Amino acid sequence: MNLIVAVTKNYAIGKDNKLLFHLPLDLKFFKEKTTGKVVIMGERTYLSLPKRPLPNRTTIVLSDNMAFEAPGAKVVHTLQDLFAEIKNHKSEDVFVCGGASIYNLLMDFCDVAYVTVVNEIVPADTYINNVEEHGFKLESSSEEMQENGHTFSFKTYINKSPKKF
């Protein structure tokens, strides 16, 4: 299973249930990685999408709300049900896509983390755990890129001992 996220230097990922930056290159990277695959997200992230579910992906939404409906997506309410659902797919085809509660819940089960690091600290209200403090080792990093006044790079981390599910 993979994790894919854009973070600041201090691992902020959102504010007011929105992303912190508009980076078309990062959105393109996310689309390339996840198209045709399975994306897992929390209810708040699902509701934050301008168009939902994301096209050409199998979407699984985790929600505590038993009445929550997400047309075109599969809603699950427990970790056990989530794992039962993703067992039907190849692990490398499954992407954990946020938000913070879902990243932190599933990080230790992921084999690979694709982390776009924006070289800034900005006001935010949502943060995730640092993958390097959760057994992930940096495997590769792109050159630094610039877009919309932001500098960022695409980093790939490998989890040396992912938890089994």
Ligand X SMILES: NC(=O)c1ccc[n+]([C@@H]2O[C@H](COP(=O)([O-])OP(=O)(O)OC[C@H]3O[C@@H](n4cnc5c(N)ncnc54)[C@H](OP(=O)(O)O)[C@@H]3O)[C@@H](O)[C@H]2O)c1
Q: How far is the CB of 99 from ligand X (least distance, A)?
A: 2
Size of the site for ligand X (CB under 6 A): 27
By C-beta, is 65 or 160 nearer to ligand X? 65
69 sits in which H/E element: none
Among 56, 64, 137, 138, binds ligand X (CB under 6 A): 64
User: What is the distance between the alpha carbons of residues 13 and 120, in angstroms, rounded to a whole number?
Assistant: 12
115 contacts ligand X (rule: CB under 6 A): no
Stretch that binds ligand X, among 32-40, 77-85, 131-139, 153-161 (CB under 6 A): 77-85
Would you say 5 and 102 are in contact if contact means Cβ atoms under 8 Å apart? no
Tell me how long the chain is: 165
Alpha helix (H) residue ranges in 10-152: 24-34, 43-48, 79-86, 100-106
Q: How far is the CB of 124 from ligand X (least distance, A)?
A: 8
Q: Report how far apart, in Å, the C-alpha atoms of 108 and of each of 95, 151, 163 are.
A: 13, 28, 6
Find the binding residues for ligand X in span 87-106 (CB under 6 A).
Answer: 97-102, 105
107 contacts ligand X (rule: CB under 6 A): no
* Longest Cα separation, the chain: 45
User: Which residues of this chain interact with ligand X, rule CB under 6 A?
Assistant: 5-6, 13-14, 17-19, 41-45, 48, 62-64, 77-79, 97-102, 105, 126
